[in-house]
Structures are given as structure tokens and as C-alpha cells.
Amino acid sequence: MKLVLLRHGESEWNRLNLFTGWTDVILSNKGIKEAADAGNMLKGKGYDFDICYTSFLKRAVDTLNVVLDTMDRAWLPVVKNWKLNERHYGALQGLNKAETAEKYGEEQVKIWRRSFDVRPPALEPDDPRNPQLQEQYRNVEKSELPLAESLKDTIARVIPYYENVIKKDMLEGKRVLLVAHGNSIRALVKYFENLSEDEIMGVNIPTGIPLVYEFDDDFNMTDHYYLGDQSIIETRMKKVAEQGKAK
Ligand SMILES: O=C(O)[C@@H](CO)OP(=O)(O)O
């Protein structure tokens, strides 16, 4: 069995190097192209899908739509769920990562970006960005909605969703494409590869590159790889890691 994960293409806030989290920003022109490239890559390598999953955030939804259009698969069923959203970056949302590193130090920014269980500073409950106050989340149980999340918190919502919902489709033989975000994908990577809290700190997911996981019938992970030119992928991962460096 295969599961294909894809981080959305570059967003406008990735381009500006801003902490994004649950801020609902659009793709940049480069991001739209990355999505089309991913679609062409998947099609060219003979991939096909029966069902797709994505988050409530338009950079992921729009990426999926471009991929499906490119693959002539715009008709496929798509399930959207907030549990696949990016990690909630709390009060850091909207701040420039390099400027934040200048102000608080690169080490602190690395802790906020990549530590396992440290939460960034939380939004105030009366902040209009509180998801409890946003239309997008009006049907979600209020107590489930965060004001800031660590990777550990993100894992606590992503993995049960994978186990209880996505895995069922895979068990029925459906080929699944999941389009999500840097840190919701890191949650899955840690789980599938059984990485330690230290090991996951060094994992950075590039935008718009399909990441394939293969499993045996007992759901043991047997192989995983990115599709495409490995040296370009390495460079793009490094670029993501370096977004937290002071200018
Ligand atoms: O800002 C964010 O929401 C994420 C993904 O773009 O960033 P980071 O790589 O710093 O976790």
C-alpha cells in the first residue's frame, strides 16, 4: 500500500518568511507552479488516486485542486478536515522569522519552530484570530480548538485522524493523496518512521514535492522517498531549515 503526502506549494507568507500557522493565506505564483509540477510528476510516474484529503486552509486546498486539474482528476472525492491543518503558531503568526531570530535569538526560534513539546506564545482568547471566533471552525467542538500548538499537540490531532479515518480507506484498497502542511506532515513522518523527539527536530518538509510512504499488509512502513531530483530536494529542505536564521 502506498500513501502520498504533499506539502502545499509556496504561499505568499512563505515567500515573505512569516510565521503562518492557521492564517489562511493564498499560494504565490511560484507555489501554483510547484503544485502543477507536482501534478505532472505524479501523472508522469503513473500515480493515480481514489480519494484525497486536505486541511481547511486554502493554500493546501488550492494546491490539491491544481494537482488534480493537472492529472485530469478534478472529479475525485476530496475530504477536508481541520485536523490536517498546519500547527497553530499562536501569537507568532504574522511575525517575520528572520526578524524574530534577530530579536529573540536563532536558538529560541529553533525551539519555537522545531522542538517537540514547546508551544509558541498563545493568542489571547479575544484575538479575532482565535479559531473559536472564526467561521471556518463553526462546526468544530470549541474545546478542541487551539490558541497555540507544539508539534506534540499537532500529533495528538493528526495521528488519530490518520488512524481512524484515512487508514480505513487504505484498508479498503483506496489510493490516498494527502495534501497538508510542513508540521502536520512532520507529525505523520515522526509516526511512520518512529523518529525520536530529537530526530524529528532535523526534519524539514519542502513545498510541492510528493513524499511517498509504502506499507505492508500489517501497516509496517517498508519504504519512503520523495519524487524528483534528490539534490534539488535537499537544497529545498535546507532552505526551509534556514528560514529561522537571523538576516
Ligand atoms: O509558518 C508556518 O506555519 C510553518 C510552515 O510554513 O513554518 P515552520 O517551517 O517555521 O514551522
Question: Looking at residue 121, which CATH number applies to its domain?
Answer: 3.40.50.1240
Give dist(CA 187, CA 181) in Å, integer.
Answer: 10
User: Which residues of the chain are modeled with pLDDT < 50?
Assistant: none
Residue 34 CB: number of other CB atoms within 10 A?
24
Q: Which residues of 161-195 are buried (b: 16+ CB within 10 A; e: fewer)?
A: bbeeebbebbeeeebbbbbbbbbbbbbbbbbbeeb
Whether residue 235 is contained in a domain is answered as: no
Q: What is the ipTM of this complex?
A: 0.96
- Residue of the CA atom closest to atom 7 of ligand 1: 19
Please give the pLDDT value at position 48.
98
Whether residue 92 is contained in a domain is answered as: yes
Residues with CB under 6 A from ligand 1: 14, 19-21, 86, 89, 113, 182-183, 240, 243
β-sheet bridge partners, residue 79 = 53
Please give the pLDDT value at position 247.
84
**Planar angle of CA 199, 204, 208, nearest 5 degrees:** 145
The tally of domains found in the chain comes to 1
Which regions of the chain does DSSP assign to beta strands (E)? 2-7, 51-54, 78-80, 176-180, 211-215, 221-226
Whether residue 10 is contained in a domain is answered as: yes
**Planar angle of CA 92, 177, 74, nearest 5 degrees:** 105
Please give the pLDDT value at position 39.
98
- Grid cell of 9 as nine digits: 506549494
**Within its chain, how far is the Cα of 81 from the centroid?**
13
What domain range includes position 198? Answer: 2-229
The answer to whether the CB of 73 falls within 8 A of the CB of 102 is: no
- Grid cell of 182 as nine digits: 510542513
Annotated binding residues for substrate, written as ranges, equal 7-14, 20-21, 59, 86-89, 97, 113-114, 182-183
The answer to whether the CB of 80 falls within 8 A of the CB of 25 is: no
Whether residue 238 is contained in a domain is answered as: no
Active site residue 181: no
Report the run of H or E that residue 98 belongs to, with start and end.
helix 97-104
Please give the pLDDT value at position 246.
94
Whether residue 12 is contained in a domain is answered as: yes
Whether residue 242 is contained in a domain is answered as: no
Q: What are the C-alpha distances in Å from 111 to residues 25, 37, 117, 186?
A: 24, 33, 9, 15
CA dihedral for 112, 160, 20, 64, sign (positive or negative): positive
Whether residue 247 is contained in a domain is answered as: no
Tell me the per-residue pLDDT of 159-218, one tens digit each, with 9 for 90 and over: 999 999 999 999 999 999 999 999 999 999 999 999 999 999 999 999 999 999 999 999
Interval between CA 221 and ligand 1 midpoint (Å): 26
Whether residue 240 is contained in a domain is answered as: no
